[in-house]
Structure 1
């Protein structure tokens, strides 16, 4: 199997495309934005205005192709009210009439986050599963950081992957409007 390397990047366009492919069948993404043609814009908006800034974007490369992405926020990360307002246009265009679903996700996730500071894994994904891409992305960042880390798993199938890296399920969130379940996970530092 060809080697997977992980590089730090600021290429929002590449990461948005990879994440849109990776999350095409994700239960939460499909619930919020049923039209997959809007997923790339949603991820582009998240990366431009909310997550992964200041050296927080990792891309996995295999055979010269981008095959996965991970988006991290450092401890204490918080976006300004201005950046949040700028993001609204992209979220309205990508979520359409389901903008309230996106707001519900953000509100419920914010309530579930643990107190204190931690590294936050906003997204990690690879269009092809079972090739070690997610593991390579997690290992690359977790080996370089100190302190706790936190994520919300939107797919029960991914929980064992996160557990291999020391994350533990801390709760279960049931999204409204017959939405899917989400599992907050925490890793002690």
Structure 2
């Protein structure tokens, strides 16, 4: 496609937060976490900022050169999550991370903590993989293939290195995009209480 892509750094933080906020304001999961349009517009950017800071510190953020799209990736080693999630130690460790996220973003909002716990529980643990945490495209540029270019940029490396990839799709529309890129539904949805579903998807290297 000829889309120019570069690795983001701390100077791109506000750009990435803005892209994610704009891209996910009307997402079904964001609507569940932050019900009510005014409340969501006021609070949602803080969650996107927390995600951006986490990935800037521990992963990689790719952005298009024109600043219209970004993708957040983490390299997850095998065994990064507890194999037996019924143990008290694993529950405490995960709970602490979820509590810290809630306290940083919206202390009175239990749903911030809940979604962090559910996502951690669903995340595969047995094989090293690349994790597409989030991908955001500015609303005026959606449908131009920018998201596909950003994802394929990392999938090409996955294929050359024999690495799988993983993500959670937040809508049936996005699952179709990911299927075209080789991802397949794992077979078990992530069901938010009284809310929408998410679709964990896995891709074997080609």
Identify the TM-score tier after normalising by the shorter chain. Answer: 0.7 to 0.9
Q: Which moves more between the two structures, 140-149 or 166-175?
A: 140-149
Task: Select 2:172's aligned residue among 133, 139, 156.
Answer: 156
Question: What is the rounded CA distance, in whole Å, between the counterparts of 2:167 and 2:180 in structure 1?
Answer: 14
Report the secondary structure of 2:77's partner residue: coil
TM-score under structure 2 normalisation?
Answer: 0.76
Is structure 2 residue 127 aligned with structure 1 residue 116?
yes
Give the number of aligned pairs. 178
Q: Deviations over 1:69-95 (max 9, x none)?
A: 10000122969x7xx76x93x643533
TM-score under structure 1 normalisation?
Answer: 0.83
Aligned to 1:16: 17
Q: Which has the higher helix share?
A: 2
Q: Deviations over 1:112-143 (max 9, x none)?
A: 12232211111011123211111111111111
Tell me which structure has the larger Cα radius of gyration. 2
Is structure 2 residue 114 aligned with structure 1 residue 104?
yes
5 Å-filtered alignment, 1:161-172, equals: 161-170=177-186, 171-172=188-189
Contact residue 28 and residue 196 of structure 2 kept, 8 A: yes
Contact residue 167 and residue 202 of structure 2 kept, 8 A: yes
- Give the alignment's Cα RMSD to 1 decimal: 2.5
Report the secondary structure of 2:177's partner residue: helix
Structure 1: runs of 5+ lacking an equivalent: none
5 Å-filtered alignment, 1:114-153, equals: 114=124, 115-128=126-139, 129-145=142-158, 146=161, 147-153=163-169
